[in-house]
Amino acid sequence: MVSLTFSRSARRDLRGIPAGDRERLLDRLDAYAADPEAPGHNVRPLAGQPGGFRLRSGDWRALFTLTAAEMTVYRIRHRREAYR
């Protein structure tokens, strides 16, 4: 299990997401932080960003870094804006 933290911009991004999508995304982030090795999380590494990953939840993408002890979400964007 790793600790889950959010940057200031990620917390701001969460406020702009509809409530149902926000809850589903937070549940998926919690599940991944609890057991990153479990299959079915839909997490992929980001090209060109060492240590960067994305978690997909519907049309939303959580961009984060991962170390052995901490998962830091730094942006949450809609899929059309996530990779710009």
Beta strand 60-66 with 43-45 is unpaired
Topology classification of domain 3-78 = YaeB-like fold (3.30.2310)
b/e burial code for range 21-30 (CB count within 10 A of at least 16 → b): bbeebbebbe
What is the three-state SS of 14-42? HHCCCHHHHHHHHHHHHHHHHCCCCCCCC
Residue 72: per-residue pLDDT: 97
- Per-residue pLDDT tens over the stretch 8-31: 999 999 999 999 999 999 999 999
- pTM score, whole prediction: 0.91
| pLDDT by 10-residue block (mean), the chain, 84 residues | 95 96 96 92 92 94 94 95 80
